[in-house]
Amino acid sequence: MTTRAGRRLQEIFNTRPVLCDGAMGTSLYARGVFINRCYDELNLTEPELVRSIHEEYLQAGAEIIETNTFGANRFRLLRYGLENKVEEMNLAGARIARQAVEHLAEKQAGQAWVAGSVGPLGVHLEPLGKTSLQEAREAFAEQIRGLVAGGVDLLIIETMPALNEAEQALKAAKETAPDLPVMVMVTVDEEVNCLDGSSPETAAARLTAWGADAIGCNCSTGPANVLSAIECMAAATDLPLVAMPNAGMPRAIEGRNIYLCSPEYMASFAKKFLKSGVQFIGGCCGTTPNHIRAMKSALRAAEAQKTAPARMAREPIVTETPPAPLEERSRLGKLIQEGSFVTMVEIVPPKGIDCRKELAGARLLAELGVDIINVPDSPRASARMSGQSLCIQIQQQTGIETVLHYTCRDRNVLSIQSDLLGASSIGLKNILCLTGDPPKLGNYPDATAVFDVDAIGLVNIVNRLNYGLDIGGNPIGESTGFTIAVAANPGVPDIDNEVRRFAYKVEAGAEYAITQPVFDLRLLESFLKRIEGFRIPVIAGIWPLTSLRNAEFMKNDLRVSMPDEIMLRMQQVGSPEEARAEGIRIAQEMLAATRSMVQGVQVSAPFGRYTAAAEVIQAVLPKRVATV
């Protein structure tokens, strides 16, 4: 159904081809504005410079010019300390563009329109990030209010990397300015998929269903890829199409990113876009008034416009492959489903390639009746053998099942999916989803962290893979069949935030949780009460202290809640042997006290002392551990 704003778009432009402008940032950079400046701020500090660029595009033949507000939202402006100037900056940007259009009308008796540019927020949204959908929508609405107050004729939501963000921007536009036409453009990668993995057909169908008035593709890797994306989108929508590609892929030349597509090359693609049924044609990064001028000539020279056949919007069919019941996915899943008390021991990967000690420890623990071996992923941001490698060696050589800790610190969303698919294919079925310690905590503080997603986003990714879909909703075939665990920390100072994040993890698909080491039973009891409305099986972390120094490290460096009475007990012991024995007794007491509250324990083995971990579990397996 055509919206009121959509009808207005038809009234203004009918079905004729319309030429839009090119890049604002490219022209500003060419005029000596460094890339570390906030380009949107120039609306307030150098309005004549911005206006002169608008006028150049109008003189080149553009009928729609976009405001210099691509990054004028609270999240991007926060980086410059300008988050309180969102509406002011957008209002100014709209007025500058309006002045340029009015000046053209006076000088050439021509007519042009002002489009309010709304770019991505520059942050990850839930479920892959910390920013909620509501916060995103409010940020977009704040920006759009300024554009509307400045008198824009339409809105262009552009360069959207993910469909959930495009949806929030579109909803904000429809709620804030229901009478303004809204064009929405996604950006695609070299494989012509959106950056969240969605196909162009999926993007087109969903944007159509969400009420966009025109849709298309901009930025990306150049006109060829944008054309391919547009051809795919055309099959899934009957809305007007929009294409605004970069001037090719940037090339690094003497320290600068240069876009090498000539005006003539871009003009040739303007004709191809026209033949493919695109109505609104323009440029993005690297395009200049010269490119737009050449594209204008090409459109004028086109002898005939090929009318695209009528298209019916349709939602692509997505086939889910649900995972097997929890008890069929792994031995651990069966134990959890049956309500059995689970025993785990943590084995840290070695710092080299020799894992004979770790394998011997796993054999010992398997013989003693421990259920599962837990393998961390470069704990404390240290360089170690990969957890995945150690997991598969333990399973193959000892027969005991493992849980792989998996962090977001070192991997982008592509690597995460590749790793998880590989882990499933080689027989790893238990994943603990973690955000990961930042590199500054480890031995390589200058190492770069990725953090494309946090633990909540990672749970969503794993859960989607369990349903046979990647994060873009594309089928991958069989379910990965993971059991999904998350971490919980009952002792953090901001327990409200911890409980809130735990609820998000459960909603995302977590099936059980493992806590940080427990020394304060009151905090564990309080946490368990707080999560009663969304409780999943909880496995308590148990850490056998080895010395007073170890206790001080846990308390002060790792910020683990450590009651004074435990510190006193570790302080009063004499020799190192007595300290380790006292640490084991404390851990056994914690296990005994928590057993009725939780569904299992994960016992750490400090400094590779696996027999110490086995001694702690003697309250659960007294007969078998008595031989240690």
Binding residues: 219, 284-285
CB atoms near residue 37 (< 10 Å):
14
What DSSP assignment string belongs to 98-114? HHHHHHHHHHH----EE
Q: Strand runs (DSSP E) across 37-112, as ranges?
A: 64-66
Contacts of 496 (CB under 8 A, 6+ apart): none
In the structure encoding, which two tokens stand for residue 570, read together?
């570790």
Beta-bridge partner residues of 541? 517, 602
DSSP 536: -
In the structure encoding, which two tokens stand for residue 50, read together?
């911005």
Buried b / exposed e over 353-364, threshold 16 CB at 10 Å, is eebeebbebbbb
Q: Which helix (H) or strand (E) holds 262?
A: none
Q: Which residues are annotated as a binding site for Zn(2+)?
A: 219, 284-285
HSE-CB at 267 with a 13 A cutoff on CA atoms is: 18
The strands making up 278-281's β-sheet, listed across from edge to edge, are 18-19, 278-281, 241-245, 214-219, 182-186, 154-160, 113-118, 64-66
Contacts of 391 (CB under 8 A, 6+ apart): 373, 375, 402, 404, 428
C-alpha of 476 from chain center: 20
Peptide bond into 127 cis (omega under 30): yes
Confirm if 32 and 49 have CB atoms less than 8 A apart: no
In the structure encoding, which two tokens stand for residue 353, read together?
């390639």
Q: The dihedral of CA 520, 522, 525, 529: what is its sign?
A: negative
Confirm if 23 and 286 have CB atoms less than 8 A apart: yes
Helix axes 86-108, 47-60, angle to 10 degrees: 40
Confirm if 276 and 308 have CB atoms less than 8 A apart: yes
In the structure encoding, which two tokens stand for residue 359, read together?
């394998």
Query: What distance in Å separates the CA atoms of residue 300 and residue 295, rounded to the nearest whole number?
Result: 9
Residue 375 sits at the vertex; the CA angle it makes with 371 and 377, to the nearest 5 degrees, is: 160
**By three-state DSSP, how is residue 185 classified?**
strand
Contacts of 574 (CB under 8 A, 6+ apart): none
Q: Provide the Cα torsion 506, 510, 512, 514; round to 10°.
A: -90
What DSSP assignment string belongs to 302-360? -S-PPPPPP----PPP----PPPPHHHH-HHHHHHHHTPPEEEEE-PPPSSS--HHHHH
Query: What distance in Å separates the CA atoms of residue 104 and residue 449, rounded to the nearest whole number?
Result: 49
Helix axes 200-209, 163-176, angle to 10 degrees: 20
Query: What distance in Å separates the CA atoms of residue 482 and residue 620, rounded to the nearest whole number?
Result: 27
